[in-house]
């Protein structure tokens, strides 16, 4: 009974003694950071080239590059010390990011940067670069896909007397009513319309209706009006 080895004994005597402290050569460190930098720079270029949102953020894009290198550094650090890796898991689990991500595609780029940092920190240099190339090509192909219709927001201000005529003009369009506000005999109508590119001749017809004060058309992507 005295010679029975428990799981705790294995961790204390064998496992920790062999794997608690590891070493990384200067060459390995430089290769990992260089690979992370190359992958991060590639992600930076792809994000800037394919960005289709309202307001491009250079600081967020630069964060992707730096995030890739920092993640690589973290992976190299925990790979040399099993105890430190357990402690870092606990420390990172309490980190909370409060910045709102408005474009779902930004989450993809953030996860891509983290994944590239993990693979480069683990010494999988070919996987990091080749995977970045494949993912970049996929994102470029998807971003260049052309849509036949473009979504716009149509805002019309008119008097109540022009209500029926405005409705008749709108029935010629593929539209969805978003809001309608009436203030002192003045109606403000907001509608979502789908149009072919540069097919805005209907605005002249609406503006010529008696009682219509102004007609505005702005591009709409679901979250923002451009």
- 152-180 per-residue burial string, b: 16 or more CB within 10 A, e: under 16: bbbbbbbeeebeebbeebbeebebeeeee
* Domains (range + CATH), the chain: 19-143 (no CATH), 150-219 (3.30.70.260)
Distances (CA, A) of 90 to 85, 114, 117: 9, 18, 19
Tens digit of each residue's pLDDT (9 = 90 or more) over 190-212: 888 877 666 777 787 888 888 88
pTM: 0.61
Is it the case that residue 111 has pLDDT exceeding 80? yes
Tens digit of each residue's pLDDT (9 = 90 or more) over 87-104: 565 555 555 656 666 677
Rg, the chain, Cα only: 29
22 backbone dihedrals φ, ψ, rounded to 5°: -120, 175
Average pLDDT over the chain, rounded to whole? Answer: 77
Tens digit of each residue's pLDDT (9 = 90 or more) over 32-87: 899 999 999 999 999 988 887 667 778 888 888 999 998 888 888 777 665 566 55
């Amino acid at each position: 009974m005295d010679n029975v080895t428990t799981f705790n004994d294995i961790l204390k005597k064998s496992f920790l003694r062999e794997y608690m402290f590891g070493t990384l050569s200067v060459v390995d460190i430089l290769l990992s950071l260089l690979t992370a930098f190359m992958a991060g720079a590639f992600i930076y270029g792809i994000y800037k080239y394919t960005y289709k949102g309202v307001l491009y953020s250079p600081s967020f894009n630069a964060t992707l590059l730096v995030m890739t290198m920092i993640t690589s550094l973290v992976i190299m650090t925990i790979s040399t010390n099993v105890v430190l890796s357990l402690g870092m898991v606990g420390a990172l689990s309490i980190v909370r990011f409060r910045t709102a991500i408005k474009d779902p595609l930004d989450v993809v780029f953030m996860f891509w940067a983290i994944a590239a940092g993990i693979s480069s920190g683990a010494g999988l240099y070919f996987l990091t670069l080749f995977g970045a190339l494949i993912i970049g090509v996929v994102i470029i192909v998807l971003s260049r896909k052309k849509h036949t219709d473009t979504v716009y927001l149509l805002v019309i201000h008119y008097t109540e007397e022009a209500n029926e005529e405005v409705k008749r003009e709108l029935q010629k369009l593929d539209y969805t009513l978003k809001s309608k506000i009436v203030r002192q005999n003045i109606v403000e109508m907001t509608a979502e319309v789908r149009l072919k590119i540069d097919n805005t001749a209907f605005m002249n017809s609406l503006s010529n209706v008696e009682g219509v004060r102004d007609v505005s058309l702005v591009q709409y992507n679901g979250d923002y009006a451009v």
